[in-house]
Structures are given as structure tokens and as C-alpha cells.
Amino acid sequence: MSRRHVSRQARLRARGVTLVEAMVALLIMSFGMLALVGLQANLRRSADVAKQRSEATKLAQVNMEGSRAFAALETASAPVGVTAFDALAAASVNSAGRTDSNATFALTRRVLAIDNPPMSAVDLSLEWLDRAGESQVVRLATFIAKVDPGLSGSLMIPPPDGISSRRPQGRNPAIPVIATDTGTGKSVFKPDPSGTVAWVFNNITGEIANICTGLLAATPVADIDISACGLAKGYLLSGYVRYSLASPPDPDLPSSGALSFGLDLTVDVAAEYLLTPTYQCFSRLPTATVGSYYCVVYPRSSTGDATSRPLNTWGGRLELSGISLSSYKVCRYSADYDGNGSISNGEHPASYTKVGGALTRQNFLVIRAIDSCPAGHAASPSTGVFTNTATVLHQPLP
């Protein structure tokens, strides 16, 4: 056989192999194209279902908010065209749709009435068929309280004192908790339960608006006629005096033996405030570890330099008197609680300036003269510590 003939046969065999390879590649590519077409169809269906689910959710939310938008409690007393709460009690089935949607949604609302507390449990479901003919559903559930919608209008009215949070007993938090509310917007408090003086607080501002004097020592607060009390404008200054005569002193859990002194207070009002009268203080008899005090300080009401000494303010220093400073030291609980870099009036400074309202929780710690005022600790809610017990020396003057 000639060399030319062999070469021609080899070329023919090579051409056959190339054709088989091309057919195999075409077959593989066909399967890939089919898979790609199926993937694209699934992607289109998933995108379509996501769009329909979003539309169904919006429709359910609109219907749910419509259920909340009742303007009366009972249908019988509701004006014509006004939705009432009791109209929610019937289940309903209807069609809901959107003009830009390719699906029709069947909405079902089920309402269960609850008597105690009065409310309705509302369950909404929207069903539809996707492009593959499979059923899809979106459900929302909530509780709607039977509350007079007229009460919601009160949320738009700010409280007269600007305090939006709930206040103790519905009055200014500066008013002592044990003060008696008269039901006339004022509360009466006797700083000395067996004394002859009573203070009348304005429940909104917390200011002392009247001073009652000349009372019988045994007169209960409920029997005091506040209409006969003199007008006044005073600010409360109050707090506790704790005792820790152990060594070292403990600002968290003070403990003490018998005390050899009473509890008196002096408010050294700065002369430039021109206050007449200046203040009046009362103390509650201390126990072995703590006593309390209540003072009324009258703010400046005369004209003058309103920039450095504004009207209706006072300034000065509060000190414990009747204590031998050779035997004891007076520390004050004080720190930069709000972290603004300064000690404000509410944080118990050494001296007060431009006080324009009540000051409460101005607390002291009495220790032995040979000890130092304890550093205490800062508040740390994350570790379960919710009080700041840091103290600094107050008397004698550092």
C-alpha cells in the first residue's frame, strides 16, 4: 500500500472523530440551555410571587388599620357613616385587588371577641393563585382594644408642666409622697407631723403656694382649711441624713450605734438674693441610721440684676448644725450623675446658684471625724448597681 493511500485513510478517520466531538458538545450545550430556561422560569415565578406577597401584605395592613380606625364604641350610638368597634365582630370574606397586580386576592377576616379585658382578636388572611396555579397565603394577626377613641386625643395635648412621663400619684415628683392630695390641684404636707405648720403644694409645678401657720399640733392634714392659709411662693429643699459611725464608713449600708446629737439645718442664703424671709427647715427624728429634713426656701422676688440673680431664684449653702465638727464630719452624696462635666444644683453641689425649683434627694452622710468621706461607687445598671454612692466632704469646709 502506498504512503499516499495510508495518509488519506488517516485523514478520513480524523474527520470522523471531529464530527463526534462536535455532536457531543452540541448535546451538552442543549442540556445546559434547557436547564437555563428552567432556571429563568423559576426566577420569574419567584419574583412574581414576591411581588404578589408584597401586594398582599400591603392590602392586609390597610385592612388591619381600617379595623383600628373606629370612631365610636357602639354602632347604635355612632353617627351615620362612622365605623364602630362592635362592627368588627362579624367575619367577612371578600375579594381585594390592585389595578397594577396580576392576581386576585381573597381576603378572609376572622374576629374573636374577648370580654376581659374588652378587645377583639383579629386574624386576616389573603389567598391567591400564583402563575403556576399554586395557592399562596399571607396572614396577619393582632389585638384591638375596646378603648374610647376620644381618649387618643389627649395624647396630642402636652401636660401643663411639660413632663410627658407618668408622675407619682399624678402630680409633680418633687411633692413628698406622704403629702395629702386635696382633689383641688393642691396637696397638703406637714413637715413636722406634730407641728403647727403645713405647706400647700401646687400639684403641677411642685411649688409651695400656701403656708398654714398657727395650727393645733394634733390637727390632722385632712382637717386643714387651706383657704385660710396665707399665699406664698417657696421651693422645697429636702433629703436624708444617713449615719455611718463604723470604721471605715459605709455609704451603701450605713450602720451606727446611739447618736449623741440632734438634727438641725441651716440654709445660708447668699446675701445678694435679698430674701425676706429666707427659709424654714424641719427635721424628722433620726433612727439609728437615717433622718430626713424638709426646708422651704423663698426665692428672690425684688428687682435687680436679672442676669446674675434672676427673679424667682435663690442661691446659698445648706449645712447641718448642732453637730460637733471635732467629733464628726458631714459628707454629701454628690457626683456628676449626668456626665456633663459639672455639678448642677440637682447633683448636690457645695453651694447652690440660681435655683428655680424644688431640690430633692440632697442627701448627707455623717461619719467620725477621724475617717475620710467614702468614695463610694458609680451606678452600673449592667451589673445590677442602680445607685451612685459617691460622697465628698461638706463640713467642715474642705
- Per-residue pLDDT band at 291 (split at 50, 70, 90): confident
More confident residue, 335 or 109: 335
pLDDT tens profile 202-257:
998 999 999 999 888 888 888 888 888 998 889 999 998 888 888 899 998 877 55
What are 141's three cell numbers? 394577626
Q: Is this structure's pTM higher than 0.85?
A: no
pLDDT tens profile 17-62:
566 677 777 777 777 777 666 666 677 777 878 888 888 888 888 8
In this predicted structure, the answer to whether residue 4 has a pLDDT above a threshold of 60 is: no
In this predicted structure, the answer to whether residue 272 has a pLDDT above a threshold of 60 is: no
Separation between Cα atoms, residue 352 and residue 332, nearest integer Å: 13
pLDDT tens profile 82-110:
777 777 755 454 555 555 667 788 888 88
More confident residue, 128 or 45: 128
Q: Residue 189: what pLDDT?
A: 94
How much of the chain exceeds pLDDT 90, in percent? 20
In this predicted structure, the answer to whether residue 164 has a pLDDT above a threshold of 60 is: no
